[in-house]
Amino acid sequence: MAEQYDVIVLGSGPGGYVAAIRCAQLGLKTAIVERENLGGICLNWGCIPTKALLRSAEVLNHMKHAASYGLAADNIRADLDAVVKRSRGVAKQLNQGIGHLMKKNKIAVHMGSGVLKSATSVEVTGDKGAETLSAKHVIVATGARARDLPFAKADGGRVWTYRHAMTPKELPSNLLVIGSGAIGIEFASFYNDMGSNVTVVEMLDRVVPVEDADVSAFLQKALTKQGIKIMTGAGVETIAVGANGLKAKIKAKDGTITESDFSHVIVAVGIVPNTENIGLEALGVTSDRGFITIDGYGRTNVKNLWAIGDVTPGPWLAHKASHEGVIAAEAIAAELGNKDVHPHPMDRSNIPGCTYCHPQIASVGLTEAKAKEAGYTLKVGTFPFIGNGKAIALGEPEGFVKTVFDAKTGELLGAHMIGAEVTEMIQGFVVGKTLETTEAELMHTVFPHPTISESMHESVLAAYGKAIHI
């Protein structure tokens, strides 16, 4: 007889394990199915270990510039094996933490590959054979994987995805990065700081193309100054892998094709949802280009079947997946009769995005261009870090904060930052947007001094011609 649950969660990434915990908190008997590692890609091979790598690179960068802080440091070098070992240790520690959370919340963990046999049952095949689990509701949270290029299949040798790039056997001497989204730019930044010669090729006309145009322009200038070669409006035509490296034919913006030698290539051209072979087709689940169609609560078109995270439309971010997991869990609890939960649908305009390169990028809401396309009359304010005392004291005066307001209502439409620690500051604007704040509340907020966050305040003042320090 199939084991009975209230909810089965298929996948234990930041969407799946959060959904399972919230279900358990709400008194629902919950199971989670995972085929590889608790915590999914984010915790084991994505968000967390990459930040550990980038922290090592950041410390190395500071050490190389010790003289600018009045310090002396000699014979500075990076031990790649030790850097990778630290990163894997951080991932392992957090993986074990997820296991503890499952036990604490009395969530049944079934290790193996899960296939939907119906909207309320999952067959799990693991080391001990196959078993069938049944539930009143199932949440699909199977995540996504890196997209391959047809002429550059990743093998972990010379051609890498982000996963291979996190555990390199050697430091690339001459690295090609295809794609300048968050993943591509973060690895370009890491390997450049570690000592590789790095070239970034981006098909669109600017790097980090989802960001505000001013942020893209500033980042390209900063990365170029650091020694990274940036090619925008360009594409890689072919890659020929040899024993000692690879040759890439790159078509530039003007149409000319050149052939260049590289030691390794990282392919960072997007993701593919893990929706194949898990029973979705047989159930008639609606999807778009492989991504499962859902409503604001995570419901699919099939009753009792839900989906969250990277198997659904973007943005494909861990924190978006986690929030969707909470929403879906509470919506399920409400359907099962819990009158104490009142779920709200996901508002995608309030989801922040962060890129942990050097300098960091963080944003929320509409870019200036998108706001204009939407028909808004705008007030836009920008404040540079060079006018901020804390940024200068830190030796990090490169960057700015930009805010975009509706000139008619004062609504904060978007905020965009580049510079030191902006990924830690963006949440201030996210809270403001969620509370539907206007410029008045932000102007009347007292920001602590000295902090880089004062640049947030000044950018708001600048939008209305009231900036103090510029």
**Annotated active-site positions, please?**
449
Q: What is the 8-class DSSP label of residue 293?
A: P
Exposed e or buried b per residue across 272-309, where buried means at least 16 C-beta atoms within 10 angstroms of its C-beta = ebbbeebbbeeeebebeeebbebeebbbbebebbbbbb
CA atoms of 389 and 285, how far apart (whole Å): 55
What is the number of alpha carbons within 13 Å of residue 443 lying toward its C-beta? 16
Assess contact for 292 and 314: CB atoms under 8 A. no
Residue 46 amino acid letter = G
* Distance, C-alpha 252 to centroid of its chain: 28
Tokens standing for residue 76: 């500075």
Residue indicated by tokens 């993986």: 95
Phi-psi label, residue 420: left if phi above 0, alpha if psi -120 to 50, beta otherwise: beta
353 beta partners = 363
Residue-wise DSSP of 143-210: -EEEPPBTTB---SSSEE-HHHHHS-SS--SEEEEE--SHHHHHHHHHHHHHT-EEEEEESSSSSSTT
CA atoms of 351 and 434, how far apart (whole Å): 10
Tokens standing for residue 364: 């929320």
Assess contact for 167 and 82: CB atoms under 8 A. no
Tokens standing for residue 169: 């056997």
CA atoms of 41 and 333, how far apart (whole Å): 27
Q: Which of 18, 58, 60, 59 is nearest to 38 (CA)?
A: 18
401 beta partners = 383, 417
Phi-psi label, residue 290: left if phi above 0, alpha if psi -120 to 50, beta otherwise: left
Residue 115 amino acid letter = V
For the chain, how big is the Rg over CA atoms in Å? 24
CA atoms of 451 and 441, how far apart (whole Å): 19
